[in-house]
Amino acid sequence: RVYITNTECHMLQLVWADSYLIGCGYSFYYDQSKGYTKLYVCNYGPGGNIIGARPYTVGSAACQPQSVRYHGLCGVKSYTYLDRLCPNDPNTSTVQTTVNPWKTFRNAVIAANIPQHAHNSSWYYYG
């Protein structure tokens, strides 16, 4: 099955077995049609949602390394950060680039069609 809806894409990224990094941020701005609004954006890594791959394997923990802290779960491997996030959709805040956190955050604002006056508001980045 190919996962193509935004809801499935975001849900699968949350449960993707290899993802262990997350960077989130938000902006609080005034929108003329909605009033004061907060926009939240998160970026996961390494990205998942790979066509033909499953988000995780069911069965006993056979991964290396295993988690020292959480029995039965896999530990974190050393990864090269890959550019594999959900497809860029102008109706969502998902972006495809992960090279620079601020660039990613800024692209998410643009991809989400946030009004231009909100682009200059204060951003709070956590990551």
Instruction: Tell me the pLDDT tens digit for each residue of 30-67.
Output: 888 989 988 887 777 777 777 777 887 776 666 777 77
Q: For the chain, how big is the Rg over CA atoms in Å?
A: 17
Q: Please report which confidence band the pLDDT of residue 76 belongs to, taking 50, 70 and 90 as the band edges.
A: low
Residue 31 vs residues 25, 65, 78: alpha-carbon distances, Å = 18, 47, 42
Lookup: tokens for 113: 């069609």
- H-type alpha helices, the chain: 6-15, 101-111, 116-119
The reported pLDDT for the residue numbered 66 is: 77
3-class SS at 93?
A: coil
Q: Where are the beta strands (DSSP E) in 3-127?
A: 21-31, 35-45, 123-126
The reported pLDDT for the residue numbered 42 is: 78
Q: Calculate what percentage of the chain has a pLDDT beyond 70.
A: 48
φ/ψ (deg, to 5) at 47: -65, 160
Asked whether the predicted pLDDT for residue 1 surpasses 70, the reply is no
The reported pLDDT for the residue numbered 118 is: 45
**Residue with the larger pLDDT of the pair 77 and 102:** 77
Q: Where are the beta strands (DSSP E) in the chain?
A: 21-31, 35-45, 123-126
For residue 23, the one-letter residue type is G
Where is mean pLDDT largest: 13-17, 35-39, 97-101?
Answer: 35-39
The reported pLDDT for the residue numbered 7 is: 64
Average pLDDT over residues 87-103: 42
Q: What is the largest CA-CA distance in the chain?
A: 53
